Amino acid sequence: MSGGALQKAIDLVTRATEEDRKKNYSEAFKLYNHGVEYFLHAIKYEAQSERAKESIRVKCTQYLERAEKLKSYLKKDKEKKPVKAGENGSKKEENNSDSEEDDPDKKKLLNQLEGAIVMEKPNVMWADVAGLEGAKEALKEAVILPIKFPHLFTGKRKPWKGILLFGPPGTGKSFLAKAVATEANNSTFFSVSSSHLVSKWLGESEKLVKNLFEMARQHKPSIIFIDEIDSLCSSRSDNESESARRIKTEFLVQMQGVGTDNDGILVLGATNIPWVLDAAIRRRFEKRIYIPLPEEMARLQIFKLHIGNTPNSMREEDLHILAKKTEGYSGADISVLVRDALMQPVRKVQTATHFRKVRGPSRDDPNIIVDDLLTPCSPGSPGAIEMSWMDVPGEKLLEPVVTMSDVLLSLANSKPTVNDHDLVKLKLFMDDFGQEG
């Protein structure tokens, strides 16, 4: 709410007076309240002179008085409604009126959070995550074991309630969360970003945080995954906005405050810049796991996972050489490198001036071997026919397989995205607060 808060407030109270005149008192009551919220924002951030502020305060008082009158009128109107047979008198009726007042707003907030629940599993298994054994073990302790063997976690033995994954970009933090969502079959998985929790309405952001945790308690066992948690829970300071401070405070209370029961709920956070997190938030993440750049054996596994079943002529020793050559690359960097290498046969088809006929499986039925498939070749190759890819029938193309030279060509043109300066700060944070993943 910036710039036009005063104008927005005027528009809202104008609509409120119109609804008041039409005797739509319930709608008028809501509009008066919203208008006063915007007026208060204007007093704080927009009004220039004391005289202007005083004028707005007087108007606010008038609108609040009218809103109070409407509230008492609406309450009396509800009390006049007859009680159904079998219900327990005035107490029941009072509860009904309260719930009727609260429900529409709460329903709206819950609808906003519905999109955070991951309904369709991402289909990422533990085996798809290369390396990171320490992180996988901690997540299994927190998520899988308590569901499968609840009797293990009795007495003082309790599963982890907060796990922070930190490390350089592209090392698999969000990918691990996808694996958790897939493997934790009986859990409700909430994937939350700042767009789910930040609202333009005064006071609504904290309610969204509170309702998120309430929903998680209703659907437990639950996992709340907050990607890039630094955007929501950075260190509190004097020059930050009041709304940002209130969101952080609500997070602190909901994660581990007085009267909150978070049994069966895991809060999973991921960040590339853990040193900006507030100390109180950091304390609530009981396990802080460093997700480092992949080691050589993990890089070898990542190459195998990303090449998959694409036709290739790579040998095991070729993959070991590539794993050695990619020191300092993240998992995401290797993924991009392999995708570029897998495009090299396509580029050969595009740039080829000559094709030759070869034997290979038919496109219609792979069990039938045919002799008239076409594959790109050099002009001097035996049987070379001068033609471009435009002249090749779609079902007759036999694309070249991916070779070691294709991957080396892509490697020569790629650079890692993480430098030593980034790693120094992350390792310092791990030495102070974390553990190796």
Higher per-residue confidence, 254 vs 3: 254
Q: Rounded to an integer, what distance in angstroms lies between the CA atom of residue 140 and that of residue 377? A: 51
Segment of 95-99, 244-248, 318-322 carrying the highest mean pLDDT: 318-322
Tokens matching residue 374: 């076409």
Instruction: Single out the residue of 231, 132, 126 nearest to residue 181, CA to CA.
Output: 126
pTM: 0.63
The domain made up of 5-80 is a member of CATH 1.20.58.80: yes
pLDDT at 120: 55
pLDDT confidence bin for 87, thresholds 50/70/90: very low
Q: Would you identify the CATH topology of the domain 296-417?
A: Helicase, Ruva Protein; domain 3 (1.10.8)
Delimit the CATH 1.20.58.80 region(s) of the chain: 5-80
pLDDT at 114: 58
pLDDT at 101: 43
Over 50: is that where the pLDDT of 97 sits?
Answer: no
95, burial (CB in 10 Å: exposed 0-12, middle 13-18, buried 19+): exposed
Q: Rounded to an integer, what distance in angstroms lies between the CA atom of residue 434 and that of residue 229? A: 16
pLDDT at 88: 47
- Share of residues in the chain with pLDDT > 90 (%): 0
> What pLDDT digit, counting tens, does each position of 279-301 carry?
888 888 888 888 888 888 888 88
> What pLDDT digit, counting tens, does each position of 187-205 carry?
778 877 776 677 666 666 7
Average pLDDT over residues 109-133: 67
Higher per-residue confidence, 89 vs 379: 379
| Superfamily holding 126-293+430-436 | P-loop containing nucleotide triphosphate hydrolases (3.40.50.300)
Q: Rounded to an integer, what distance in angstroms lies between the CA atom of residue 431 and that of residue 435? A: 8
Tokens matching residue 397: 């193309």
Delimit the CATH 1.10.8.60 region(s) of the chain: 296-417
CB 269, CB 226: distance < 8 Å: yes
pLDDT confidence bin for 1, thresholds 50/70/90: very low
Query: Cα–chain-centroid distance for residue 19?
Result: 40
Q: In 326-403, which residue ranges form alpha helices assigned H by DSSP?
A: 331-342, 344-351
Delimit the CATH 3.40.50.300 region(s) of the chain: 126-293+430-436
> What pLDDT digit, counting tens, does each position of 23-35 carry?
888 888 888 888 8
pLDDT confidence bin for 436, thresholds 50/70/90: low
C-beta neighbour count of 285 within 10 angstroms: 25
pLDDT at 18: 85
**Three-class SS state of 237:** coil
Over 60: is that where the pLDDT of 126 sits?
Answer: yes
The one-character DSSP state at 141 is I
pLDDT confidence bin for 89, thresholds 50/70/90: very low
pLDDT at 318: 87
Q: In 5-49, which residue ranges form alpha helices assigned H by DSSP?
A: 5-21, 25-45
